Amino acid sequence: MRFIYFIFVYFFSVLIQMEEVKSQNSSIINSYFTKEAIKQISNDLYWFKLLHYYHPGESIGQWSTRSDVISPNFFLHPQGNTDPELELQATLQAILEPVGEDPDQHVRCRFIARTKWLMSVLEFPPLEEIRCPMFERWANLEEATEMNIIFVSAYLENPASAFGHILIQFNSKNRFFNHPLLSPTLNFGAITNPEDGALEYAMRGLFGGYESGFSDERFYNFNHVYGETEQRDLWSYPLNFSKAERERVTYHTWELLQHVRFTYYFFLDNCAYRMAELLEMAWTDGRRLNRPMALWAIPVYAIHNLKAMKADGEDLLGSPKLIPSRQRRLNQSVSELDDDEKQWLHRLILGEMNLEDPNFLNHEKTRQARILDAWIDYLQFKHEGKFEGETAKLRSTILLKRSKLPILEPSSEIEDPPDPSLGTRPTRFRLAGVSHETMSPALELGVWTSHHDLLGDEAGHLNNAELVTLDLRLHFRDNSSHLDSLTLFSIQNLAGNPTGVPGDRSLSWRVKGGWDRQHFNCYDCLQFQLQGGLGISYSMGGHDVEYAFLDLFGKSFNHSWDTTSWGLAPHIGMLWEILDGWKIRLEGGWYRSYSGPVMDHGKALAHQRWTLSQNLDLRLEYDQIHDTREGKLALNFYW
């Protein structure tokens, strides 16, 4: 009983002390500001933005009004992460405090975004002059010119990068750092443990097991990692912010770089969500880039949403600039060669000819230059920019030879691919009519969360690749509804040899998991399947891809090991873009089990897509499993 009494007295005294502190702070603040003003400001949408406050349901796992920030040092009041009014009072109190020996630690420098905004909406008494050396050196506002958002294309080798990535670049006219490669660039990501295994990494990333935060580096570091090592294209879009809007984003960026942490969720609280949230700081009204109560956020959403916004009647998102990957630079170099020049490039790469061969030297100097440019790009691609031993000597010899040849003007015939803002949005709604040879017609409703399939418009996506998650399809027939299929994930990469040069070929691969029907004559025959395999891909004409896979599959009728069939499934197929906006896919395969219940049947499909507009397409689909067939005419809307 004494222990319980002691605990009761302790907590009661703490509550009294907290109320006394609150009362003392309130009396000081109320001598300068009215209670009505404080109440109004504490509920202002921009104050909520500055504190990353969300109401229940607006952010993942949010069951009460609180901040998404989990770092105690981001708040000046012990209850600041759940009570915006107490945090406002503590902030006002700290702003009024005298400047100490280290001005960088004063709240007017640590929380410069809060301070600037509060001083714009409230009448403060005269304050002591203050300089913020660390912020001023970092931000360099006097020489800041523009702000860019950079979209990094998808990278299927790493699940965390499969949907792309977002960076924010701060440009300057400073004579030492005015080159884009030297511009400070902001990144957001999970703080992972390198020792975590693949399963632990996935589970923690999906369910909030990692903290996350912002960091900044010079752009050349990101260009090296993404463009050179991972061979990903980067698209840089200027943001047409006013000077005041750009500075508000800069102010809050400084606050977030002070070791501020969030909980990371792969599908929502990720780089796309947090970077869009940061850009929202430009506007003091209620404009948002993130959708309220969203269940997922995808990097390309930020690009599409920015493109839809206006700034003083003009597009907020400026014209993009492609920063090509090493792979794309090689493709462009080879595409500029004629057939004879390509043959010479092949011979030089394979060592069948050398640079002193008279036949090579008899070529026009501009032709020699094109061949050597392509060879240099090939070596850069092949060796990932790391040259040692004989390779380093060979590269030096080529560069010396190239230095004696004329400088070539960039080819005007090579066009950049369509940028991501011109592609379809990642989420899809589907309405289809279903025709069956023995069953009555059905209506199909479907939705997928993301992102792009093999028949989709490739603007802003990887060529000849598929990444689809949570593809749900329901059938409505004869006053009843049934689950047709639920694909958890489907990833395909038809990686061939786009340049035709030796060493550029990669294996194709794919993996898929989810539920579908064993055949089309039933709805109570759902099976769970995992399937994946390796293959090869070729292109005969540039607008087509022929491929062959050997897949390993596991199919279970009632989710037990005893009813799981394991086997192999060879497949062949073709993708062909007949005209712009008209694409077909043909594929056939045979499933044969070698363990578990016997499975021995064929499967075929013939699908085609017509693009109606950027976010609307029409598809005609024919599928066959065993001897059962089904046809669909589907309208797909992307949003």
| pLDDT of 294 over the 80 cut | no
Q: What is the pLDDT of residue 15?
A: 44
For residues 395-422, give the mean pLDDT: 86
Q: What is the pLDDT of residue 209?
A: 92
Binned at pLDDT 50, 70 and 90, residue 17 comes out as very low
Q: Is the residue at 4 inside a domain? A: no
Task: Look at residues 375, 403, 431 and tell me which one is the last residue of a structural domain.
Answer: 403
For residues 364-374, give the mean pLDDT: 91
CA dihedral sign, ordered 318, 321, 323, 327: positive
DSSP string, 533-585: EEEEEE-SSSSEEEEEEEEEEEEESSS-GGGEEEEEEEEEEEEEEEETTEEEE
Which of 31, 37, 27 is CA-nearest to residue 122? 37
Three-class SS of residue 521?
Answer: coil
| pLDDT of 431 over the 90 cut | yes
Q: Is the residue at 535 inside a domain? A: yes
Report the run of H or E that residue 601 belongs to, with start and end. strand 600-613
Secondary structure in 3-state letters for 229-297: HCCCCEEEEEECCCHHHHHHHHHHHHHHCCCCCEEECCCCCCHHHHHHHHHHHHCCCCCCCCCCCCCCC
Report the run of H or E that residue 349 belongs to, with start and end. helix 339-350
Q: What is the pLDDT of residue 63?
A: 60
Q: What is the pLDDT of residue 60?
A: 56
For residues 470-490, give the mean pLDDT: 94
> What distance in Å separates the CA atoms of residue 305 and residue 279, rounded to the nearest whole number?
12
Tens-place pLDDT, residues 160-183: 788 999 999 999 887 777 788 999
Q: Is the residue at 372 inside a domain? A: yes
Alpha carbons within 13 A on the beta-carbon side of 583? 20
Task: Look at residues 277, 293, 323 and tell me which one is the last residue of a structural domain.
Answer: 323
Q: CATH number of the domain that 463 lies in?
A: 2.40.160.40
Q: What is the pLDDT of residue 465?
A: 93
Binned at pLDDT 50, 70 and 90, residue 480 comes out as very high
Same domain for 316 and 336: no
Same domain for 371 and 279: no
Binned at pLDDT 50, 70 and 90, residue 24 comes out as very low
For residues 191-211, give the mean pLDDT: 88
- Which residues form the domain of 86? 29-125
| pLDDT of 6 over the 70 cut | no
Same domain for 263 and 166: yes
For residues 129-144, give the mean pLDDT: 92
Same domain for 620 and 507: yes
Least confident piece of the model among 16-30, 105-119, 300-314 = 16-30
Report for 27-41, 412-426, 619-633: range of highest mean pLDDT: 619-633
Binned at pLDDT 50, 70 and 90, residue 312 comes out as confident
For residues 313-331, give the mean pLDDT: 91
Tens-place pLDDT, residues 269-292: 899 999 999 999 999 988 889 887
Same domain for 471 and 349: no
> What distance in Å separates the CA atoms of residue 387 and residue 367, rounded to the nearest whole number?
26
| pLDDT of 13 over the 60 cut | no
Binned at pLDDT 50, 70 and 90, residue 419 comes out as very high
For residues 367-378, give the mean pLDDT: 91
Same domain for 302 and 174: yes
Same domain for 308 and 343: no
Tokens of 390: 């004989």
Q: Is the residue at 415 inside a domain? A: no
For residues 46-65, give the mean pLDDT: 79
For residues 400-429, give the mean pLDDT: 86
Q: Is the residue at 131 inside a domain? A: no
Same domain for 178 and 46: no
Tens-place pLDDT, residues 510-554: 999 999 999 999 988 899 999 999 999 998 877 899 999 999 999
Same domain for 68 and 152: no
Task: Look at residues 95, 125, 155 and tell me which one is the last residue of a structural domain.
Answer: 125
> What distance in Å separates the CA atoms of residue 509 and residue 497, rounded to the nearest whole number?
14
The total of structural domains in the chain comes to 4
Overall residue count recorded for the chain in this entry? 639
For residues 148-155, give the mean pLDDT: 94
Q: What is the pLDDT of residue 28?
A: 64
> What distance in Å separates the CA atoms of residue 531 and residue 514, rounded to the nearest whole number?
9
Binned at pLDDT 50, 70 and 90, residue 195 comes out as confident
Same domain for 340 and 317: no
**Predicted model pTM:** 0.89
Same domain for 340 and 276: no
Give the angle subtended at the CA of 190 by the CAs of 186 and 193, to the nearest 5°.
130
Q: What is the pLDDT of residue 412?
A: 62
Q: Is the residue at 416 inside a domain? A: no
| pLDDT of 44 over the 80 cut | yes
> What distance in Å separates the CA atoms of residue 376 and residue 380, rounded to the nearest whole number?
6
**If you average pLDDT over every residue of the chain, what do you get?**
89
For residues 29-42, give the mean pLDDT: 84
Q: Scanning the structure block, which residue is given the tokens 């990371």? A: 264
Same domain for 603 and 518: yes
Q: Is the residue at 550 inside a domain? A: yes
Report for 192-196, 400-404, 455-459, 550-554: range of highest mean pLDDT: 550-554
For residues 388-397, give the mean pLDDT: 89
Binned at pLDDT 50, 70 and 90, residue 21 comes out as very low
Q: Is the residue at 12 inside a domain? A: no
Q: What is the pLDDT of residue 22?
A: 44
> What distance in Å separates the CA atoms of residue 611 and residue 577, rounded to the nearest whole number?
11
Q: What is the pLDDT of residue 477?
A: 92
